[in-house]
Every structure is written in structure tokens, then in C-alpha cells.
Chains A and B, each alone.
Chain A
Amino acid sequence: MQETKIKKYFEKKEKRFWSSFVNLFMEQLFFLSASVAVISLFLITAYVFYNGFKLFQFVPVTDFLFGFDWDPVTQKLFGVFPMIIASCYVTVGALVISAPLGIACAIFLAEIASPATQQVIRPAVQLLSGIPSVVFGLFGLAFIVPLIQDVGDVAGLSILAAIIILSIMILPTIISISEDAIKAVPKELKESSIALGTTKWQTILGVVLPASSSGIVTALILSVGRAFGEAMAVKMVIGNTQTMPDFSPQTGFGLLSLARTLTTNIVGDIEYAEPGPHLSALFATGAILFLFIIIINATSYVCLRRNSVKSNS
């Protein structure tokens, strides 16, 4: 009798020991998992920049950043300036098309559309964000490029095609984040505006949009990051030529000319890049791209910060 009691006591004690051990062990495991994010970010930054900086043993930084010619195999020229310009051009172009369209759609979803309409549009936006970028690229290559070819009597592969495809791709980002911002506008604000006898549109323009402006700006900045970093879809429709885009009016101020962006430079050249200056130059291209993305992210971070400070006060 006594023996079984003692045995039970020790069994219980052992069980408790194990469960508290597992408890402590899991806590450490959770912490380690969370640290993986930090370690990954550090490794990614380190590897991309370290491998990129190797290039500057062969080429001066200014020749790389402001050089106009990219001929890595025969002449060993590593100038990415045209690509930086093309990347910016394509991104701004996409934003010009999709910012008004996306914000309008977000307002429509948040303020006007009936629940039934919302149930059509919202899944559509969700689906749009889920479609792989290569599918957009295929659509661009098979439909938009021939269309530009026929209408403009040009090669078809062009900055314009890239802008159109990118503007479709960044719409979901703009719509979903702007919609959240618009929905977060306090009801009292809108109601007091309506009570003054304004119409719905006047309320939207005068109250809702100003109140949600910082959220909308964040949406736009995030979509800029997406457009700037998109590689595959752009690669498929932009032609990937090394030369500076032709900004003369004959080519629609560059819209109809072929180009190469920072991202497409990496995708296009990686297949035949030999280890050495060429591969390092691709990493350096990635590093420049990364720098741009860091600046864009930091801007959106500051915007969000300012936003949350404002709503707290």
C-alpha cells in the first residue's frame, strides 16, 4: 500500500518535471524560430552585398553606376545606368495608370458598392493578387505585345507593354491596403460631413480621402516596391536590350522602345554568366536593386509610423 503511494508520488513528480522541461524547451524553440527571420535578413543582405562588392575589384563604382554600356562578355563593360532609368520609368508608369484606378476601386468597394457587388469584386481582386507573375507575362507576350506591334508598327516588346502588365499586377496591393485605410475612417467624421448637407462624392473627396491619405500613400509606396522588384513578367515583355531607351518623341518618349531593367538584367544574364566579374556584376545589380527597395521600404515605414502616431494622439 505504502509502496504504490510512493511510486505514484514519484511518477507524478517525474511527469511534472518533464512537462516543465518541455515547457522551457518549447519557449527556447519558439525564440529560435523567431530569430530565423533576423538571421535570414542578415545573411541575405550580407551575401548579396558581399558578392556584389567583389565587382569593384575589376570596375570602379562610378563606371558601374553611371556607365551607359553593358557588355560583360567581350568588352567587359558593366554600366547599369540605363537599367536604373528603365526600372524607374517602368515603375512610375505603372503607378500613373494604377494609382487612380486602384484608389477609385478601393473607394467604390469601401463606400459605395452593395454587399452583393463587393462579393464579386473582392474575390476578383484576391484572385488577381494570386495569379503568378509568369502568367501575366504570358498574357502580355501573347496579347499586349502583338497589339502594340500592330498599332504602333514597332517591335512590340517595349516599356509600354511592361508598364501595362505591371499596372495590372500592382492593382491588388493598392486596392486592398487603400480599402483598409478608407474603412478605418471613423463613422462620426463621415456622418458629420453628411449632416452638413454634402453629397456622397463631396464627403468622399473632402473627408474620407484626406482622413485616409497616409494609408493610401503607404499602399502606393508598397506597390512601387512590388513594381520595382518584379522580374519575370517584365522580362517577358520588355525585350531586354542593353541600350539606353530612346526617349525621342518618335518612340512615344521611350514608351515604345525596348529596354532592360535591373531585375531583367539579372534574370536574362544569369543563364550564361561565368563566375568572375560577370556574375559579380549581376550581384551588384541585385545590390543596387536592394538599395532602392530598402529606401522604398523605409519610406513606407516612416509613413506608417507617422500614421499610427497621428491616430494615437
Chain B
Amino acid sequence: MKTAISKIQAEENFALGALKISGWLIVSVLIFIIGYIFYYGLPEVLSWHYLFTPPEGGRHDNGGILYQILATIYLIIGSLIVAAPIGVFAAIYLTEYAPQNFITTLIRFAIENLAGIPSIIYGLFGLAFFVIFLKFEYSLLAGALSVSIMVLPVIIRTSEEALKSVPQAFRQSSLALGVNKWQTISKVVLPSAFPGILTGILLSIGRIVGESAVLILAAGGSITAIPRFVSTTYPYVLPDSARTLAVHLYYQATSYDARAKAFATGVVLIFIVLFLNWCINQISKGYRKKLAVR
């Protein structure tokens, strides 16, 4: 009896210990990866020169990443201008209007599937549709439009969650005052759901910044010219081929002589992700506080 109990006890300790180790193992892997990238990349970034000089190209990739930062910012703006309104509107339709019918099922099915498609497929689509069929050539515009379809499910899902969490009583009391549905949505529902929607947009910025496969296929990779936001020739908006930070990192890392620079670009990317995560956590903290007060 006693040995049986001690055997169970031993098994218990061993199993719980293993679970604990696996949890901490993942944290240490993360810390190791980030530490490794920072160890080799941080000195270059801290010299600031790297961030604010234009790239010169060449085998050793002299110069900095100013144009890549610019291209990344353009890409974020370009994709969000398209994806954010469409995503939020779609979420509003799904939570506030959608009847239980075939079309709604189809929309939900489409969103589920879009979320599961790998980015390389979005890249192929961008290449076939935007670059070749619509004749955008390799351009940030083609990249931004492909990426905006890719982040659409992210924005729709998080916005939907946010809209669902707005109490039904808010809507009813607004409607009882005699205002119509759009006024209720714009004045009551959207403001209360705003933090959640913002979270979705920040998440999708993270996806956009980290995306590389789509952009290699749809946005091309020229580096030495400064990308323009608008132009007088077709396709007018974001017309230039450009490398974002993630794509630049890929080219740097795969050419042996420029790999040291890739770590610096990696540090910049990790900083962006850290900053976005910090923002998201702050928002959800504030949101929880607000709910607690209520």
C-alpha cells in the first residue's frame, strides 16, 4: 500500500515537473532567439546611422535601411486604408445585421478559409491578379492590396469579438430613444467597441510588418530608389517596387556577406513587434479596468 502511494506520488511529481519544464522551456527558447538576434544586431542599430541612411546595395549591402523603413510604413498605410474599413464594416454586418441564411454562412465560410490560406498563396494571387492582370507591375500597391486581403480575416474576427462584447442593453436603450440603426451603431456601439477594434488593427499591423512571401511575389525588391507614395503615371498610388524590412532581411540573410546586417534589421522588426504587443496589452488592461468600474 505504502509503496503504491509513493509510486503515485513519484509519478505525480515527475509529470507535474515535466509540464513545468515544458512551459519554461518555451520561454527560454524565446529569450534565446531574441537574445541571439539582439547580441549581433543591437550595436549596429544603436549607432542610429543604420536607421537613417539610404541603402547602397552591393555585395556587402553598405548603407542603412531608411528606404526599407519608408516602404514598410507605406505598406502599412496602404493596406490598412483598404483593409481596416472593409474589415470593420464586414464585422458590423456580421454582428448587427446578418440574417441566418445561406449568404451569411457563405461569408463566414469565406472568412474561415481566408484565415487558413498560407501567405505564399496570397503572393501568387497578387502576382497573377494585381501585377499581371491589372498591370500594376511589381509595386507596393500590388503588395499592399494582396496583404490587405490577407489581414482581412484578422480584422474581421477581432472586430466581431469587440462588437459582440458590447452589451445588448446599450443598443436597446439607444434604439428606444427613437434613433435609427446606423446612428446607434456609429454613436453607441462603435465607440464602446473601439479598443477591441484597435487591437485587431494593431495585430494586423504586426502581420503586415512581418510579411515577406507575399511581397517578394507581388511587390518586387528594388532598393536603391526612394519609394513614392503617389505618382502621375499608372498605377498612381504606391507605384514603385520596394523592399519592406522583412523582405530586406530575407535578402540580407541569404547573401553571406550581408548577414551581419540582417541581425540589425531583425532587431528593428523585433522592436516593432514588442511595441505592438505592449500597445495591445495596455489596451486590454484599460478595457478590463473600464469593465470592472462598470
A residues within 8 Å of B by Cβ?
A: 19-20, 22-23, 26-27, 29-38, 40-41, 43-44, 47-48, 51, 100-101, 104-105, 107-109, 112-113, 117, 120-121, 123-128, 130-139, 141-143, 168, 171, 175, 199-202, 204-205, 222, 225-226, 228-232, 236, 263, 266-267, 270, 282-283, 286, 289-290, 293-294, 296-297, 300-301
Q: Do residues A142 and B259 form an inter-chain contact, with CB atoms below 8 A?
A: yes
User: Which of the candidate stretches B47-55, B87-95, B165-173 sits at the interface with the other chain?
Assistant: B87-95
Of the residues B25, B40, B90, B254, contact of A34 by C-beta under 8 Å: B90
Q: Do residues A171 and B26 form an inter-chain contact, with CB atoms below 8 A?
A: yes
- Return chain A residues, CB-CB under 8 Å to B9: 199
Q: Which residue of B lies closest to A228 (CB)?
A: B118
Known: A27-B182, A199-B12. A290 touches B253 (CB 8 A): no
Known: A228-B118, A282-B124, A290-B117. A40 touches B19 (CB 8 A): no
Q: Do residues A289 and B120 form an inter-chain contact, with CB atoms below 8 A?
A: yes
Known: A36-B90, A37-B111, A199-B12. A141 touches B19 (CB 8 A): no
| 21 residue pairs bridging A and B, Cβ less than 8 Å apart | A19-B182, A23-B181, A32-B89, A33-B93, A34-B90, A37-B110, A37-B111, A44-B125, A124-B27, A126-B277, A130-B210, A131-B34, A135-B249, A137-B250, A201-B15, A229-B117, A229-B121, A231-B119, A231-B213, A232-B250, A294-B113
Q: Do residues A104 and B18 form an inter-chain contact, with CB atoms below 8 A?
A: yes
- Return chain B residues, CB-CB under 8 Å to A296: 116
Q: Do residues A123 and B23 form an inter-chain contact, with CB atoms below 8 A?
A: no
- Return chain B residues, CB-CB under 8 Å to A263: 118, 120, 213
Most A C-beta atoms less than 10 A away, residue of B8, B113, B206, B274: B113
Place the interface of chain B in its size category.
35 or more
- Return chain A residues, CB-CB under 8 Å to B97: 27, 30-31
User: How far in angstroms is the closest Cβ of chain A from B95?
Assistant: 10
Q: Does B282 contact A (CB under 8 A)?
A: no
Q: Does B107 contact A (CB under 8 A)?
A: yes
Q: Do residues B210 and A201 form an inter-chain contact, with CB atoms below 8 A?
A: no
Of the residues B16, B18, B90, B118, contact of A230 by C-beta under 8 Å: B118
Q: Do residues B33 and A130 form an inter-chain contact, with CB atoms below 8 A?
A: no
Tell me the bound Cα distance from A226 to B207 in angstroms. Answer: 14
User: How far in angstroms is the closest Cβ of chain A from B127?
Assistant: 8
- Return chain B residues, CB-CB under 8 Å to A236: 250, 253-254
Q: Do residues A229 and B269 form an inter-chain contact, with CB atoms below 8 A?
A: no
CB contact list, B7-49 vs A, under 8 A: 8-9, 11-12, 15-16, 18-20, 22-27, 29-31, 33-34, 36-37, 40
- Return chain A residues, CB-CB under 8 Å to B206: 130
Q: Do residues B183 and A37 form an inter-chain contact, with CB atoms below 8 A?
A: no
Of the residues B121, B181, B213, contact of A48 by C-beta under 8 Å: B121
- Return chain A residues, CB-CB under 8 Å to B19: 104-105, 107-108, 112
Of the residues B23, B106, B263, contact of A104 by C-beta under 8 Å: B23
Q: Which residue of A lies closest to B150 (CB)?
A: A40
Q: Do residues A131 and B270 form an inter-chain contact, with CB atoms below 8 A?
A: yes
Grouping DSSP codes into helix (H, G, I), strand (E, B) and loop, the A interface class, with mixed when no group exceeds half, is helix
Q: Does B69 contact A (CB under 8 A)?
A: no
The proximity string for B residues 264-280 relative to A, scoring 1 for CB distances below 8 Å and 0 otherwise, is 00100110011011000
- Return chain A residues, CB-CB under 8 Å to B181: 23, 27
Task: Known pairs A36-B90, A112-B19, A134-B247; list 14 more (Cβ under 8 Å).
Answer: A23-B181, A26-B182, A40-B114, A44-B117, A47-B129, A48-B128, A104-B19, A104-B22, A108-B20, A133-B212, A134-B250, A138-B249, A168-B33, A201-B15
- Return chain A residues, CB-CB under 8 Å to B149: 40, 44
Q: Do residues B125 and A23 form an inter-chain contact, with CB atoms below 8 A?
A: no
